[in-house]
Amino acid sequence: MSASSSRTQSRQRSETLDIESIYRSSRSRSTSTFPPADLPRRQLWITEDGSPGENFVSAASVVTVLSRSYKTYFKNLDDSSDTSFEAESYPATELEYPNANACETYYILAPKDPDHYNPIMCLEQSLYTIFECYLTPTQQALFGTLPTDFLQDVDNTPPSSPLTQLSGDSEQSSPVKLPSYDPRGMNYLRLLQRSIRRRDGPLFLSTMQNINQLLRALKYPSLPSDPFAPAPPNVLIEAIKGWPSNEIPNRVLMRIIDETYQRSVGPHALKLNRYEAFSSEVYGELMPSFTSDIIAATRLHKDSLFMDLGCGVGNVLVQASLETCCRSYGIEVMPTPAEVGRGQLRQMKKRCRMWGLSMGEVELEEGDMLTSQRVTELLPQADVVLVNNKVFQQSLNEALRPRFLDLKEGAIVVSLKPFVSSLNARVTERNVDDISAIFDVFERPYRSGSVSWGSGGGSYYLHRVDREGYAVIKQQFENQRARSARAPRR
């Protein structure tokens, strides 16, 4: 078959004109990212105090509210009459966080349901994150080594105070002189693991006391003898300035997200699951790893405006704000998720201060995305718009499409279902004037476990506004119309 006859067969026939179909982009269904560009740098650390302030939801607060769901875990191995570790006594310890005046109380009890919030495990993970990401190897040596399956238990008793190891002149890299770790000495992290495994309450408490004393010595170093000399800095906050690529380590990012979610959203799980089935008002979440993938794919940064239409409890908003320091706005129509989202935002701000990290401005609105005046005001400024429309009714998806005409050139709409009728981006005489023609669409996969409503993987879609490309295609159609009009009829 000749090329001429092939083209003829592919033409879409209108009443009077024969116009050839044009493909929107050969990159459709591509998994490639957008063209690389240098992203603006942000300042990760803050200079303000780390105190969480009033209305702080601590680990102890969660256990108090859900006290009937918790049971005794530790005991006194040397005194069977000691009841201080019983659940009714609320045995407690504290953990020092990196920033000044940042400390959290933990009730050291175990959940009756293993799927519920576990304060002991939470404390462990936060401590290990501080150890791995905020301490130099020399500073880590004071605490010991992270527990692994192949390391044997340390079988000795803790000293009266670890601060005896912090004497001496200052080193340039630290306000205190830090000795090299002696493997024959005290390994507090291993002792902590041993106390948890043996359920040894007194050992756990004494080890945490020593660990916190070490952290306080690093956070609040001794003042110099010269009254005119500047006060030495908090070395944990100084560590942030040296993080590679000026990015928050993934372990720190996930820890802050988990801490906030466990305390602010987890206790409301039953309320959040009450929704009208088969409606657009269904609650579902994107997992943090998926959110990070979206952030990377859209190249969100500190100068971006990110919008989430149907934001639920605000998980994606607070993560984007922390991960990139971008400005974020979200709107949610259901009262319960909106209320929980406001609480989560308040607690996320407090947690970021405790970890010594900055986050971008976040605005939450309870209302209808189709009628909100704020949505109308912000859409023309938006760089990335997320619409988790997996379960949206078709009428809602159709109602949203005209709103995207207000988006600026290069803005990206991220969705779980495409807003275009066909992913092959074939533009014809019939659909050239459809609003979806302004989009260059990319289909990307998401991994198993990326969403809360299913265990399998799937696809999400990046719609990039490309009016310049659309104008070229529009002109091609105009040219074809003109040629077809001049062609003699047979």
Judge whether residue 275 has pLDDT over 80.
no
**Residues paired with residue 364 on neighbouring β-strands, in sequence order:** 330
Identify the pLDDT of residue 351. Answer: 98
Per-chain mean pLDDT for the chain = 83
């014809």: which residue's tokens?
428
Of 426 and 194, the one with more pLDDT: 194
Identify the pLDDT of residue 301. Answer: 96
Identify the pLDDT of residue 273. Answer: 74
pLDDT-wise least confident of 11-20, 223-232, 369-378: 11-20
Judge whether residue 222 has pLDDT over 50.
yes
CB-based burial label for 6 (10 Å; 0-12, 13-18, 19+):
exposed
Identify the pLDDT of residue 91. Answer: 98
d(CA 266, CA 274) in angstroms, rounded, equals 14
Kindly state the average pLDDT of the residues 301-310. Answer: 96
Of 410 and 178, the one with more pLDDT: 410
Kindly state the average pLDDT of the residues 56-75. Answer: 96
Judge whether residue 363 has pLDDT over 90.
yes
CB-based contact 21:12 (threshold 8 Å): yes
d(CA 428, CA 20) in angstroms, rounded, equals 7
Q: Which amino acid is at 87?
A: A
Identify the pLDDT of residue 393. Answer: 82
44-64 pLDDT, tens digit per residue, is 999 999 999 999 999 999 999
Judge whether residue 168 has pLDDT over 60.
no
Helix (H) or strand (E) holding 309: strand 305-309
Contacts within 8 Å (CB) and 24+ apart, 225-231: none
Identify the pLDDT of residue 476. Answer: 67
Find the farthest-apart pair of alpha carbons in the chain and give their distance in angstroms, rounded.
106
Judge whether residue 305 has pLDDT over 70.
yes
The angle that helices 288-298 and 250-264 make with each other, rounded to 10 degrees, is 130
Identify the pLDDT of residue 285. Answer: 87
Judge whether residue 122 has pLDDT over 50.
yes
Kindly state the average pLDDT of the residues 256-261. Answer: 97
Identify the pLDDT of residue 15. Answer: 36
Identify the pLDDT of residue 466. Answer: 87
Kindly report whether the global pTM for this prediction surpasses the value 0.85.
no
Judge whether residue 332 has pLDDT over 70.
yes
